[in-house]
Structure formats: C-alpha cells, structure tokens
Amino acid sequence: MPDIQRTCKITGKEFVVTEWEQAFLKKMEVPPPTLCIEERHRRRFAHRNERSIYKDKCDLTDRPIISLYSPDKSLTVYSQDAWYGDKWDARDYGRDFDFDRPFFEQFYELQKAVPHMALFNMRGQNSEYCNITNSNKNCYLVFGGDYNEDCIYSVFNMYCKDSSDLYWVNNSELCYDSVDCVKCYKVKYSQNSENCSDSAFLFDCRNCESCFGCVGLRNKKFHIFNKPYTEDEYNKKIALYHLDTWNGVQHMKKEFDKFRLHFPHRDTTIINSQNVSGDHIIDSKNCKDCFDMTGPAENCKDVIFGGWNAHDMLSCNHAGFKSDLFYEMVGSIEGHHNAFCTFSWTCSDNYYCDLVLNSQDVFGCSNMNRAQYCILNKQYSKDEYFDLRTKIVEHMKKTGEWGEFFPMKYSLYDYNETVAQDFFPLAKTEAESLGLRWYEKEQEQLSSNYQIADSIHGVEDDILSQMLVCEKSGRGYKIIPQELKFYKQLQIPIPRFAPEIRNKMRFAARNPRRLWDRDCAKCQAAIQTSYSPDRPEIVYCEQCYLKEVY
C-alpha cells in the first residue's frame, strides 16, 4: 500500500498519508484526512479551554461556581456535584436526527442546550480554581496538574509541593518559575533539569546541588556559570547577585540567556525510546512526530501530550492513559476505539461526542454519563442504534463531514480562550476573518500609585489589599496570602507580571511542537530538531551531545 499525497484544503500545503496511517484509518472506518497535521492540531486545540475561567452560578442549585464558560455564552452550566447528581437526565435533551441538515450544525445546537460541567476538577480539596486536574490539595490556578499540594499558578505539574509558576514539572518541592524539571528541590528559574537542589538558573543539569547559572552540568556542587568554587566563595558570590530583588532577577535572566548560547543543545529530548521522532519522548516505541509523549506508548503518530500506557493513536492531543485506537481525540483517557471526541473518559466505540463518561456505542452525544446506544442524546435499542448510525454516516459522507473533526466555528469557546491561541496565535482581526469568536473582557484602565518594593525583604502585608497592574498586559492582579508566604520563604521578589502573562512566558521558553531539518554543529550529520535553523543555539546530534556532557 503506497503512501498517499494529499493537499490541505485550508493551506494548500502538500502532506503525506503513510501506509501505517492508511491501515489505521481502515480500522477506524474513516477516510484519509483532508487537512495537514498543523491544521488538524489547530482545529482540535480550538475545542480545549484550560485556563480561561470565570465566576458564575450553578444553573441547577444557584450556588456560586467557577466555570469554563463566560457568562455571555448563555449556556446551561452545572457544578460538578450537580452534573453528576440524579436531578437531571441528559436524555431529556435528546432529539431526532434531521437528514435535511448537516450533522455538525445539529450537534452544535444540542451542545448549546444540554447542561455542561463547570470545570473538570476531580477530587480536589480546597482547590476550587483549578481545571483539568485530579486530586490536588490547597492549590490555586493549577491547570492540567494532578496530585499536587500547596501549589499555585502552574500548568501540567504533577506530584509537586509548595511550588509556584511551574510548567511541566514533576515530583518537585519548593520550586519556582521553572520548566521541564523533575525531582528538584528549592530550584528557581530553571529548565530541563533533574535531581537538582538549592540552585537557580540551571539549564540541562543533572544531579547538581548549590549551582547557579549553569548549563549542561552533571553531578556538580558549588558551581557558578559552570566554574567551581568553595562553599564559602559560592555563598559570598551568590549574595552579590541580589536575587531577593526584581531588578537583580531580571538582570540575571538576560545574562543567563546569553550564557546558554555558548553551550551545545541536544537536538531533541528522547529517552529510552526506539524508532521515534519528535521531542520530549520517554519510554516509547514506534511513535512518529509526537511531542510530550510519556510512555509506555507504542505505535502512535502526530500526538501532542499523550501516552501513559497508550498505543495505536493518531492525530490526538492530551490523550492516552490505558487507551488504544484513538483518532482525532482531545482530552480523552481510558478508552478503546473512539474517534472525533472531546473529553471521552472510560469509553469505547464512541464517535463525535463531547464529554461522555463511562459510555459505549454512542454517537453525536454531549454531556452523558453511563450511556449506551444513544444518538444526539436520544435513547435507542441496540438494533435501532446501529441502523440509524449507519444512515447518519452515509449522510455525513454526502455532506463532506464524515472523517472531519468538529469545525472551529462550532467550538463552545472563543478562539483566544483555547490552547489553539497558545500553539497557533491569531490577532483578533485574523480570528474574526476566519469566522471565529473572540472574547473581549471588559477591562478598565488601571493605574496604581502603590510602589512595589524591589526586594522581597521590603514587602509588607499591606500588598495583599492592593490591585497591582501587570507591566505587560496592563491588567490587574493580586497577591494572595499563600503566594506572599511562599515568596518570603524563598526570598523571591514580587512579580511585576500577571499570572497568565507569566504562564505565557514559560510556554514560550519551550521549543515549538514541530521539527526542522538541520545539521549537527559538530559532526555535520543531518538531524531533525525542534530548534529552527534561524535560531542561534548550537545544536548537536544525540551522539555528539552525549560525548560533550559526559
């Protein structure tokens, strides 16, 4: 079966559907894609809101809640407890399928009618302002992170304690403003480091203690800018950087960014994996063009944020965990043979659904739990279900909808509320020209005469009652007691940027989820890397990189 050459119907870009993809799509009984992978990713991401949350009221109990849906959307929203309760039935919103109209249009009307769960915040304790999380305690504005305690302003942090401003940091404690770190303790302003402690401004370090401004070190102690010092010399020199001050930290960030450019960077981060391509791949096999893939994972392609005992997945994001045969899936776990779904948990044989839990053989359903043989939330017998499903699929083939994910214009969120804006940013005018909505929060012009002390040692408790103004966005933000206590404990100056701006800065510190062709800067071997050719970093192939750092 030869590869198929296709042309993206949006960008006009040529792309290939491989022999493996064709065999996979045959199992799913869907045609080859009509969009290049970038546009498929964008389309799915436009249906995932992680961090845009709003104060609201539960439409069933009238109690205050935090919701993913801004009040102007006029959707019915229930608290998690009310949504899982027995005082309503999603089947009450079921409707007949109209063969004179497109499927997507009818599904969107169902979505706008059925009650939605306010947040995906499972088993949280004192962590009401978190989303897509599980088992957090005393956490605030944590998104996509699980099993954390006393953490704030972080994304995809797992098993962390007493930390703030993290992105993809695991099993760490007392850490701040760090990205892609594992098993760290008292580490600040660091990236791609593991098993480090009492350190700051690290990049690509392992098993280091009391190190500062270091790159590519292994098993070192008392180093500053990769140079060794005695313990007394180290402590005296560190004090000169004034890291308790905002100006001191900002100066050091600029200096460290320049210092990092003198050292080779690994082309991709691939660990204990075979026959894979992409970046940040661990314990995986036969995974192509995948990013942030944590194994065990096998036989996957074009997956972003996936794995955890998953296999046979194509064109998915934020998906996996005991799953197989997933195609065009978003935020879905523990399933088998599902396609074109958002937030499908513990389900099998479901197509074109949104938030369906513990269900199987449902089609075009929204916000259902423990359902079977339902179409557009209407209950059918087994024979009726399969007969009608077959007819709908034939109808969708005629309308050109079969094999396509939900269009972006039918997202329940405005484009700039979704992770699509993170990966594929658009200006408001660009989004609106594509027929996409844009959320414009009313924001009064803020000004403040409050002077934030440069050093954390000069900050008093009165800052807790102040509305601070973000130096980048101009929006207001506040310091909460948990946050101030953390800053004073670790001698961190008060940030001048709002939490969401800080998150965007950490996101931008990571490489894009795509590969470019380059040559190894040492041996000139052809490599594929997430560092684009126009970037200034020195990039080595894996073999040359390992020789350099070990």
| 483-505 average pLDDT score | 97
Domain that holds residue 274: 270-408
Share above pLDDT 90 across residues of the chain, in percent, rounded to a whole number: 96
Would you place residue 251 in the very low, low, confident or very high pLDDT band (cuts 50, 70, 90)?
Answer: very high
| 216-227 average pLDDT score | 98
* Per-residue pLDDT tens over the stretch 524-544: 999 999 999 999 999 999 999
* Per-residue pLDDT tens over the stretch 342-385: 999 999 999 999 999 999 999 999 999 999 999 999 999 999 99
> Taking all residues of the chain, what is their mean pLDDT, rounded to a whole number?
97
Residues 328 and 229 in one domain: no
Q: What is the pLDDT of residue 212?
A: 98
The number of CA neighbours under 13 Å toward the Cβ of 218 is: 5
- β-bridge pairing 476-477 and 468-469: antiparallel
Q: What is the pLDDT of residue 442?
A: 64
Residues 173 and 301 in one domain: no
User: Other C-beta atoms within 10 Å of 15: how many?
Assistant: 18
| 46-52 average pLDDT score | 97
Q: What is the pLDDT of residue 1?
A: 73
Residues 285 and 251 in one domain: no
Contacts of 509 (CB under 8 A, 6+ apart): 167, 179, 191
Q: What is the pLDDT of residue 440?
A: 87
Nearest to 377 by CA among 395, 387, 362, 355: 362
Share above pLDDT 70 across residues of the chain, in percent, rounded to a whole number: 99
Q: What is the pLDDT of residue 458?
A: 97
Residues 326 and 341 in one domain: yes
Q: What is the pLDDT of residue 444?
A: 58
Residues 77, 116: contact at Cβ < 8 Å? Answer: yes
Q: What is the pLDDT of residue 441?
A: 77
Residues 398 and 301 in one domain: yes
Residues 288 and 397 in one domain: yes
The number of CA neighbours under 13 Å toward the Cβ of 146 is: 6
Q: What is the pLDDT of residue 549?
A: 87
pLDDT at 330 over 70: yes
Residues 258 and 279 in one domain: no
Residues 179 and 198 in one domain: yes
pLDDT at 180 over 70: yes
* Per-residue pLDDT tens over the stretch 159-171: 999 999 999 999 9
Q: Is residue 227 part of a domain?
A: yes
Residues 401 and 278 in one domain: yes
* Per-residue pLDDT tens over the stretch 433-490: 999 999 987 665 576 789 999 999 999 999 999 999 999 999 999 999 999 999 999 9
| 305-309 average pLDDT score | 96
Nearest to 213 by CA among 224, 228, 198: 224
Burial (0-12, 13-18, 19+ Cβ within 10 Å), 134? middle
Residues 256 and 331 in one domain: no
Q: Is residue 356 part of a domain?
A: yes
Phi, psi torsion values for 442, nearest 5 degrees: -65, 120
Give the span between the Cα atoms of 400 and 402, in whole angstroms.
6
Q: Is residue 501 part of a domain?
A: no
* Per-residue pLDDT tens over the stretch 191-203: 999 999 999 999 9
Q: Is residue 119 part of a domain?
A: no
Q: Is residue 138 part of a domain?
A: no
Q: Is residue 288 part of a domain?
A: yes
Q: Is residue 397 part of a domain?
A: yes
Q: Is residue 159 part of a domain?
A: yes
User: What is the number of domains present in the chain?
Assistant: 3
Contacts of 455 (CB under 8 A, 6+ apart): 242, 244, 245, 493
* Per-residue pLDDT tens over the stretch 259-272: 999 999 999 999 99
| 69-87 average pLDDT score | 95
Give the span between the Cα atoms of 260 and 252, in whole angstroms.
12
| 310-326 average pLDDT score | 97
| 73-87 average pLDDT score | 96
